[in-house]
Amino acid sequence: MTTTSWMLGLIAGCCAVTIVPRVLPFLLVRSVKLPAALLRWLSFIPVCILTALIVQGLLIQPENGRRIAVNWPYVLVAAPTLLVAAKTKSLSASVIVGVVLLAIVRWAM
């Protein structure tokens, strides 16, 4: 149960730089009426950022000079997970099927 003032400073700094981008837009939209074009742009953010986060998960980040790689077990399991999601429209079912299938793939490999 120990820490240093250096660590406390670090955690406080990281807390500040994380909370500002989270909260600022909520304060901004109260005083500024967002233009229609910006609202239209924002309507595309969910689909685009979810896609980007999925692709980020399916890739293995390059480390010390190596090239970017595909996480094949993930890609293999992503396809049936997509089908389950489309069929059941259930988040829970998709997550459970995905996790179980990945465990099976790892066990089989």
Least Cβ distance, residue 74 to another protein (angstroms): 6
**Binding positions for another protein, 42-101, rule CB under 8 A:** 42-59, 61-62, 67-68, 74, 77-78, 81-82, 84-86, 89-92, 94-101
Task: Please tell me whether residue 102 adopts helix, strand or coil conformation.
Answer: helix
State the nearest-atom distance from the C-beta of 69 to another protein, in Å. Answer: 10
Question: Can you spell out the DSSP letters for 18-82?
Answer: HHHHHHHHHHHHHHSPPPHHHHHHHHTHHHHHHHHHHHHHHEE---TTPPPEE-HHHHHHHHHHH
Q: State the binding string over 9-38 for another protein (x if CB under 8 A, else -).
A: xxxxxxx-xxx-xxxxxxxxxx--xx--x-
- Least separation, in Å, of the C-beta of 26 and another protein? 4
